Structure 1
Amino acid sequence: MRLVRIGDATSAVGKDLRAALVSWGRGDEVVGGIALLGVQPPGSDQPIDAVVVLPRGVLVIVGVDLPDPAVRLDAPLGGQWKTDGWPLVRPDGATNPAAEALAATAAVTGLLQAGRVEPVPVSTVVAIGPYVSQVSQPTADLVRGVRILHPEPMNLLTAARELATHPRPCTVAEAGRILAALHPTGPDLGDLAAEGFPHAAAAATTTLIPRVVDGPAAPKPVAAPKQGGLRWLPIIAAILVAILLITGIAVAISSASDSGHQRDPDGNRPGPVPVDGVGFTARGSAEHTDCAAHAFGDVRGWLEANGCARLIRARFEATSDGKHAAVLVSVLRFSSSSSATELRTVADRSGGGGVADQAAEGVAWPGDRKPTFESAAYASGREGNSLKLVQAVWLDQPSAPDDPALKEIVTKALQLSLAR
C-alpha cells in the first residue's frame, strides 16, 4: 500500500491509524491500494483521516477520540454509544459519533457517482481511540458495511478484507479516475500496478456457434395399424376403469383419515424440547456451505481463510421461569477437529465476532418478535469435528451478556441436537 500524505490527521487516533497503514508495507503483498491521508474531497465540509482506495473497494476511515480509554464500547449506528456501560457524552454534545463518519462516506459516494467513475463499494470504518479493548456492534450494522474498531494493524486489515469485495478489481485507469475525483490537485502517482491494480480488466471470451440451416426433414413413413390390435381395446378399457375405481376408493379412505388429524391444527408442530428445566421451541433453520458469508468479525476472517464444510443456523425460543428468550444456535462442521478447536479460540475472544442471525439478511424472526442479538449471552462447545456457537437475548426485556439466566439458557442450548 502506498500512503499519500495530503493533510494532517484530524484526530489524535489518526496517528495510530497511519501507523497501522504503514505496517502493511508497500506493494500488494498484504492488501495493496492507495491511502489518501488527511484528504478533503471536493464538497466535503472537513478533511477525512484517510480514504483508502483498494483494488476491490474504497474505505472512508474517520477517527473518533473518546474521552478516556475503555474496555468495552457499545456502538450502535442508530442509538446512544456507551463506554463501559456509561453513556458517551462528548464536549460537542454528540452521543453517536458515527453520524460524522456516515456523512463523510455519503459525500465520497456522491462524489464518485457524480464523476461517473467505476462503481465500487464505499464502506465506513470508524477508528476509535485512545484505546478500546472490545467493540460491540449490532449485526445489522456489520452487514450494512460499517466497522468500528481501534486501528490496530490486524483489526484494520480484517475490516479491509471484509469490506472490499467488489467482484472485479479496478484497473490502473479506473483507480486513477477515482483518485483524481477524490483529490483533483494531487500528485501524479505513476504506475499503480505495483499496488494491486491490473492494467486491464479480464477480457470476456465469447464462443460463436455457427448456425446450421438444413432442409426440411423427410417425413418418416407411418406404419398402418394392425387390425388384430383393435380387438384388445375393449379389454384394455375395462382394466383402466377398474384401476380408476380402486384408486378412487383409496383416495376417499385416505381423505377421511386425514380429516380426522386436522382437528388439531397444532398436532404436526413440534413441541418444546425440555433441557434441564428449560423448554426450547424450534423456530426454523437454514443450512449453508458459504460459511464466511454469514459470519462477522474475526470469525468471518478466519472462515474466509480456512472455510468450513457446512454451517447450520437454527432459531429457538426458550422459556425459563416464565421469561422468553430468542436463541440462535450455529453449528459449523469441519473435516478435522483441529479446525473446530482453532475457530473456537477465535470466537471465544472478546470482540472476536460470530455468526449472524438470518434477520440481518432479510429473513425475519417468525411471528411479531424482532430480536436483535446485540448484548447477547454467549456460549460455545465442541462436538467431534463440529463447533457450536450459541447466542441468546430476552424477547420481553433488555438483555446483558452476563445475565445469569441467559447464561444458563445458552449453556443448556449447547445440548440441543441439530442433526440434518
Structure 2
Amino acid sequence: MSHPQFTPGTPGLSDTAPIPAVPAQPGPPPSGPPRNNRTLLLRGAGLVAIAVVAGLVWYLIRHESTPDTPVAEPPATTTKPAFDYKLAEGPVKATDCAANAYTDAKKFFQDNPCKSLARALYTVQSGDAKALVSVVLVTMPDAAKATELKQLTDRDGTGNVSDLVRDGTFHDTDAPKLSGDQAAYESKASGAEVTIVLTDFYYGHHDKQLLARIAKNAVKLSGKLR
C-alpha cells in the first residue's frame, strides 16, 4: 500500500503542539492567626486605663499617708498702751489702811483691817491736756472683803483711801484736787486685791470722756505696786 507523502516543513500529526502557560498558584497562607487592628487598639486602651488607675491609687496612698502640714500661727502682737503714764510720786506702802483713809472707808478698815496698802501718783499727757492720776492697791484678807470694799468706795459720799495729794505727800502747787467733784473714778476687784483710781486735769481743763478713758486705762498700773 502506498503512504501519503508529506511536504517537509509542514506540521503533521507527529509534530508536538505548543503547551499554553499555566497561571501561578497562590502560595500557602502565612503561619499564625491574622493580625487584627481593632484587637490591638483595645489592648492598648486597656493598658492605658490600668496605668491611670495605678497612678491614681498611688497618689491616694501617698496623700493619705502624708501628715497634714501644720499651719503656722500668726505672730503674737502686743497692744500699745493708750496713754504714757509717768511716775510722779511713790509707791508709798503701808499696812494700816484705817490710818490712810477717811469717813466711811476709814471705819470699814477699822472693822476689817487690810493686809497691805500701796499708793502712787502718775502724770499723763494727751495732746494739750495733762492729768494727774492716783493709783491705790489695797490687799484684803480675802476676796469677800475685797468685794465689800469696792462696793463701798463705788458709792458717792462714802469716803476713800487718801491719795498722796490729799495727805500732803505730793508737793505740787498746781496739782489738781483728786478727791474733788471733777475727778474721774475707776475701781476693780480681783481676788483679794482692790484697785482704786482717781484722776483730774491740771489747770482746769475739761474733757469728761478723755478723763474717763485715762482712769479706766490706769487700772492696770496697779501691777507695778505689788
- Shorter-chain TM band: 0.5 to 0.7
SS at match of 1:418: helix
Q: Which runs of 5+ in 2 are unaligned?
A: 1-78
Q: 1:388 to 1:275 in 2, by over 3 A?
A: farther
Correspondence for 1:384: 191
Structure possessing the higher relative contact order (Cα contacts under 8 Å, 6 or more residues apart): 2
Q: 1:275 to 1:320 in 2, by over 3 A?
A: farther
Separation of aligned partners in 1, 2:143 and 2:162? 23
Separation of aligned partners in 1, 2:86 and 2:160? 23
Shift of 1:344: 0.5
Separation of aligned partners in 2, 1:404 and 1:325? 13
Select the structure that is richer in strand: 1
* 1:247-286 pair list within 5 angstroms: 276-285=81-90, 286=92
Cα pair 1:275 1:412 within 8 Å, conserved: no
Correspondence for 2:218: 413
Cα pair 2:136 2:196 within 8 Å, conserved: yes
Q: Which residue, 94, 113, 118 being the options, matches 1:288?
A: 94
CA RMSD of aligned residues (A): 2.0
Q: 1:275 to 1:333 in 2, by over 3 A?
A: farther
SS at match of 1:354: coil
Separation of aligned partners in 2, 1:412 and 1:318? 11
SS at match of 2:165: helix
Note if 1:306 corresponds to 2:115.
no
Q: Which residue, 298, 301, 323 being the options, matches 2:129?
A: 323
Shift of 1:397: 2.0
Percentage identity across paired residues of the two chains: 27
Correspondence for 1:335: 141
Cα pair 1:275 1:415 within 8 Å, conserved: no
Correspondence for 1:393: 200
SS at match of 1:316: strand
Separation of aligned partners in 2, 1:399 and 1:347? 24
Larger Rg computed on CA atoms: 2
Cα pair 1:328 1:391 within 8 Å, conserved: yes
Shift of 1:362: 2.9
Correspondence for 1:163: none
TM-score norm. by structure 2 comes to 0.59
In the TM superposition, structure 1's runs of 4+ consecutive aligned residues that sit over 6 Å from their partners are none
Shift of 1:318: 1.3
TM-score norm. by structure 1 comes to 0.32
Cα pair 2:146 2:193 within 8 Å, conserved: yes
* 1:18-417 pair list within 5 angstroms: 276-285=81-90, 286-365=92-171, 369-373=174-178, 374-375=180-181, 376-398=183-205, 403-416=208-221, 417=223
Q: Which runs of 5+ in 1 are unaligned?
A: 1-273
Letter in 2 for 1:281: K
Q: 1:336 to 1:383 in 2, by over 3 A?
A: same
Separation of aligned partners in 2, 1:331 and 1:382? 10
